Amino acid sequence: MRSDLCKKGLERTPARALFYATGLKKEDFGKPFIAIASSYTNLVPGHVNMRELEKEIEKGIRAAGGVPFIFGVPAICDGIAMGHKGMHYSLPLRELVADCVETMGEAYQLDGLVLLTACDKITPGMLMAAARLNIPSIVVTAGPMKSGNYQGRRLSLVKDTFEALAAYRAGKMSQQELQALECRSCPGPGACQGLYTANTMACVSEALGMSLPYCGTRLAISKDKKKIAYESGRTAVTLVRKNLKPRDIMTPAAFRNGIRLDMALGGSTNTALHIPAIAHEANINIPLELFDKISRETPHITDILPSGKYFMEDFDAAGGVPAALHVLQSRLENAKTVSGKTIMQIAKAGKVLDDDAIRPLNHPYHPEGGIAVLKGNLAPYGSVIKQTAVSENMKYFVGVAKVFEREEDAMHAIMQKKIKSGDVVVIRYEGPKGGPGKREMLSPTAAITGMGLSTSVALITDGRFSGGTQGPCIGHISPEAADGGPIAIIKNGDKIEIDIPNRQLNLLVSKAEIKRRLKHFKPLPPKINKGWLARYQKLVTSAHTGGVLK
């Protein structure tokens, strides 16, 4: 076993002595050492149920003949970190999580890992570590949150807090109702109730083959989630004995399957950052253009929040990921999974229990998938939009630029009603380097929606969006402003063309004027020049590469 390097032989006498001090018995040294990398914290609602899941995973590991250990990794709730300095740390957290898991896996020469995760950047960080270490690993996502309820109406975080506060500011809602929504929109443990980044990545993990079937959608409060945690512990030991490693599972075919499921569900645009970054750790290149290619040939078959009517609990009740894979099976590629079954076997066994929550291919909600990749003179390397969340009248739009150098300034302008129909809000210097950390723009996009402007105002940024974003919001613009990308030279009053059907994003000024502006361009100084974000800023690459560190 791999762990023999730190527990067997005369030279390891001191190490064994230290292991005995942790409670190990002599017979444990002949068993596989399996660690649970847990992102438990009571700061994050998506993670507060993990103590129970840790216990179930431990039971499963012991039952299968392994020795369980637990170590912690950091976690950030993007909803709490949103709109202030804390969001600078959200995307960089992904790299911290991967580094933490790598550090513990190598320091103790662990035989296997159970990666217990939930929210936005933690799940891709865990998967990056699994691909990097390439030791037998399984992912357990802690589950979605149940919907809230107010006067018989089901509630979700984004629509009933982020969008509601803008509706209140616009005079469309009373303070009493806003306070009621604040208290009732998040009723307990779990990742926010729609296809935001956390739940999107949970479903993608399942489609990649790294989680057991139904893990991605079973509610955090359900007894089934505990059963899946227990079985995942048992499975981790089986994976070690079979020597089945993440790179045996996360193959190019598996990544294409994961992207296809994502496009069919209409998930978060953040997957365009995370899937390439995970693949990068497995020495697989996933170009941004692949998302657009698969999206063009994959119908959108669900209607889940934020832009749809269904909650994650409805998707789960309709059959979850296996049911969606069943619908997509003619377009999937066979690949191994941690369950011991192939992805095609899981897809074949999946059953659709509600054919409106999960529609057939010949009756989709949209003919194309969730994400479109736009290029043009404003985004030579690409940009990303959730096209299934855009109204038909905004699929082609020409608007007037209102330029902001940071999110807070744009948010202030929106809340002060300085943004009008026909505007294109431009938020720059929020990319991986310029942020640093590529902050999510959920606050301004939700404010635009709450103000009733989502069908008449667009937003473009070199930052990124939460999975909760809807409307014509284009992110991941590459190159970013800090790298001298064309977004850096937009001026107030410039006209900007957004053409989703033709995949174009253009600044409507002459080539000569663009060339002149770029010649005289000087980037703004870094917003943060101390701490680890200063180091991150120097190492991070552009959004179209997944924002990896090099």
Q: How many percent of the chain have pLDDT more than 90?
A: 93
**Residue 521: how many CB atoms within 10 A of its CB?**
13
Domain with CATH 3.40.50.2300 in the chain: 31-146+188-349
Q: Write out pLDDT tens, residues 395-449.
A: 999 999 999 999 999 999 999 999 999 999 999 999 999 999 999 988 898 889 8
Distance CA 78, CA 83 (A): 9
Q: What number is the average pLDDT over the span 14-23?
A: 98
Give CA–CA dist 443/157, Å, rounded. Answer: 12
Report the topology of domain 372-545.
Glucose Oxidase; domain 1 (3.50.30)
Q: What is the pLDDT of residue 35?
A: 98
How confident is the model at residue 441, as a pLDDT?
Answer: 86
Helix, strand or coil for residue 238? helix
What is the pLDDT confidence band of residue 100, given thresholds at 50, 70 and 90? very high
Position 265 scores a pLDDT of: 98
Residue 466 has pLDDT above 80, yes or no: no
Where are the domain boundaries for CATH 3.50.30.80 in the chain?
372-545
Q: Which fold has domain 31-146+188-349?
A: Rossmann fold (3.40.50)
pLDDT tens-digit map of 307-364: 899 999 999 999 999 999 999 999 999 999 999 999 999 999 999 999 999 999 999 9
Nearest by Cα to 294 from 307, 275, 278, 308:
275
For every residue of 112-151, DSSP letters joined together read EEEEEE-STTHHHHHHHHHHHH-SSEEEEE--BPPPEEET
Q: Where are the alpha helices (DSSP H) in 134-270?
A: 157, 163-169, 175-184, 197-208, 223-242, 246-249, 252-265
Q: What is the largest CA-CA distance in the chain?
A: 76
Whole-prediction pTM: 0.96
Confidence of residue 158 (pLDDT cuts 50, 70, 90): confident
- Give residue-wise pLDDT tens across range 511-541: 999 999 999 999 999 999 999 999 999 999 9
Per-residue pLDDT, 475 = 96
User: Where in the sequence numbering do the catalytic residues fall?
Assistant: 466
